Amino acid sequence: MSYLKDKIIKEGQILPNNVLKIDSFLNQQIDPTVMKAIEEELYTYFKDHGVTKVLTIEASGIAPAIMVAAHFDVPMLFAKKALPSTLTGDGVYQVEVHSYTKNTNYRVTVSKQYLSPDDRVLIIDDFLANGDAAMGLIDLVGQAGAAVAGVGICVEKSFQAGRGRLEVAGVDVYSVVRIAAIDSETKTISFAPGH
């Protein structure tokens, strides 16, 4: 997708440890044109997968996930990083995930009320690095006895282990943009072929 690639090239900031900061259009400030392009590409790829629900983790995955869910005309559900007082331990599915960018662990939660064995869940996230968030969401879907329809990613760091982990788990993965390498010294990015 040239528009998202162009935005990454023009506005992305390369930080130490292969961190790509794209807060100006995806992770804090949201560019609706970027979201629309992401939504259309993910819908086109997953439209025949029988999606009944879209799932992400708060917060950066919410914008693309709600756009994709709206196109499918299905609910969007997000896993919460803190257990609200309105949910009790026996009424939730929970799993611990590690955030590569923040280098911290979160115990994420969804209410059992919103995932059922009849669901075919499309998981959406902003980044795929080591795959911990996606694997955690796959675990939540499995706890509910639901099926994973696929995993849609906005930006994949294909030089990290995430895609491999998902493929070994038998999950269909589609990434809008795949990054082959990030050079922190020269501040350059090279892109991998799509899908």
Residues marked as binding for 5-phospho-alpha-D-ribose 1-diphosphate? 129-133
Distance CA 109, CA 80 (A): 5
Q: Which of 5, 17, 22 is nearest to 127 (CA)?
A: 22
Give the residue numbers of the binding site for xanthine.
Answer: 20, 27, 157
User: Which amino acid belongs to residue 47?
Assistant: K
Give the residue numbers of the binding site.
Answer: 20, 27, 129-133, 157
Distance CA 72, CA 50 (A): 10
Contacts of residue 33, defined as CB under 8 A and 6 or more positions apart, other chains included, come to 3
